[in-house]
A and B are shown apart, each in its own frame.
Chain A
Amino acid sequence: MNKPLVNEYGSKEKLIVATAPLCGCFGCHMSLLDIDERILQLVELVEFDRSPITDIKDIGKCDIGLIEGGVANVHNVEDLREFRNNCDILVAVGACAVNGGVPAMRNQFDIKECLEEAYILGIGIENPHVPNDVEIPLLLDKVHPIHEVVRVDYFLPGCPPSADTFWKFLTDLINGNTIDFPYSLIHYD
């Protein structure tokens, strides 16, 4: 049993949830929205802080942080550390956050090979050059799952985790139940 995040009198203010997309495809965020009308129940219990859903850019103190995507560039590292510093509970959501996922397939190649293939040698490229604007975050040499950068409290596998997985996880967590996924909710694809 975890400690319930809402006490029995319901007197705690709404739980604060933040979400971040790092190096992913936004599929996990779409899957969260796929809980459909249950979102109305969810907003009774939680309030969203920084998230692409609210478009709030700066994170405050949060109860739960949901991270989609792996760590592929220096911005991802900064965002992830900021989330860890501000969230009591940090959750790796989806294959990319859990093990690097499809973006980590580039780990088979050197960064130079990746950039050259994308911007110089690829088919149909005009004005071949590797972009070097200072605004563009520097790529890391490898894409990492988030637990290789910060401590992670919970993992939600799936590409993406289904809406039911999100729902089961969030309701169990909020109600202080042990997170115990049935067979149908554990998958890596």
Chain B
Amino acid sequence: MNTENTFRLDGKDIPFKKGDTIMDAALRAGEYIPHLCHNPEFKPHGSCRLCVVDVNGRHQASCTLPAEAGMEVDNSSDAIRQRRELLLQMLFVEGNHTCPACEKSGACQLQAVAYYIGMLSPHLTHFFPKRSIDASHPDIVFYHNRCILCGLCVRASEQVDRKSVFAISGRGIDSKLVFNSPDGKLGGSELEFTDKAVEVCPVGAIMPKHLGYETPVGQRLYDTKPISVVGDVAAHSKPEKPFISDKSHE
């Protein structure tokens, strides 16, 4: 293999094209690097940091780092696994993730990556922040509790739906998603059930109404196979129209 356009990932030669990040080249080569805020359809965001790898002795986000010939990339050592586990634990204690009471459970990317990493507990002290639920939209419920601020809905709404319904506002623990509507409620926004923004959410934050717990336990996306085999939530989610659609807000 021509080493001028390959780098090494866990000892394997990975070919890359000009402009590729490590993530781009790895995904194309069928190598899984855990990630949450990355979706190959959108410009990288580099915010969840879960795709951290060790490149020539430094920790880097593989979704934003351009691939270079001869790089030595570690994606599987215990040190990297531990770093990712800590990042996941921070995400879990920053929100309110009550998986047994969440309709996304079993098909949630945050959970699936945590299973893949082998996270057995959130370990840190929980913030238990007080977060609201916005049920003003006829077809969609928004749970601030479960939003991990990955920015995928922001990018999808802006770049694909051309509506810019979502933005991230505030700082630190007070950061939250805000909606572009006269009263700040999701119901008054231009969001529609079939929007790309609804499809890309990796967790149970943007949820369809009237469709909860449709898939039996045991048949859900990540019940039997890990995310490294199954792939991302977005690759599987094509929202169907909900049964009841009350268009009263229009």
Bound CA–CA A34/B141 (angstroms): 37
B100 within 8 A of A: yes
B109 to chain A, nearest CB (A): 13
Is B128 on the interface with A (CB-CB < 8 A)? yes
Specify the main secondary structure of chain A where it touches its partner.
mixed
Cβ-defined contact, B100 with A155, below 8 A: no
Q: How far is the CA of A101 from the CA of B102 in the complex (A)?
A: 11
Q: Residue A188 contacts which of B111, B118, B123 (CB distance < 8 angstroms)?
A: B111
A157 at the interface (CB under 8 A from B): yes
Report the contact-size class of chain A (Cβ under 8 Å from the partner).
20 to 34
Closest chain A residue to B106 by CB distance?
A189
Q: Mark each residue of chain B from 109 to 146: 1 if its CB lies under 8 Å from any CB of chain A, else 0.
A: 00100111010111101101011000000000000000
The stretch that binds B, out of A2-10, A42-50, A61-69, A142-150, is A142-150
State whether B121 touches A159 (Cβ < 8 A): no
Closest to A156 in B: B120
Whether, in the assembled complex, A100 has its beta carbon less than 8 Å from a beta carbon of chain B, the answer is yes
Taking a contact as CB atoms under 8 Å apart, the answer to whether A108 and B96 are in contact is yes
A105 at the interface (CB under 8 A from B): yes
Q: How many interface residues does B have (CB within 8 Å)? A: 28
**How far is the CB of B179 from the nearest CB of chain A, in Å?**
20
Rounded to whole Å, the gap between the CB of B36 and the closest CB of chain A is 16
Chain B 213-229 interface mask (CB, 8 Å, partner A; 1/0): 00001000000111000
- The minimal Cβ–Cβ distance linking A114 to chain B, given in whole angstroms, is 13
User: Is there an interface contact between A188 and B99, defined as CB atoms closer than 8 Å?
Assistant: yes
Q: Among A95, A100, A108, A155, find the residue whose CB has the most chain B CB atoms closer than 10 A.
A: A108
- Contacting residues, chain B, for A159 (C-beta < 8 A): 99-100
- Measuring CB to CB, which residues of chain A are less than 8 angstroms from any residue of chain B? 92, 95, 98-102, 104-105, 107-108, 142, 144-145, 147-148, 152, 154-157, 159, 181, 183-184, 186-189
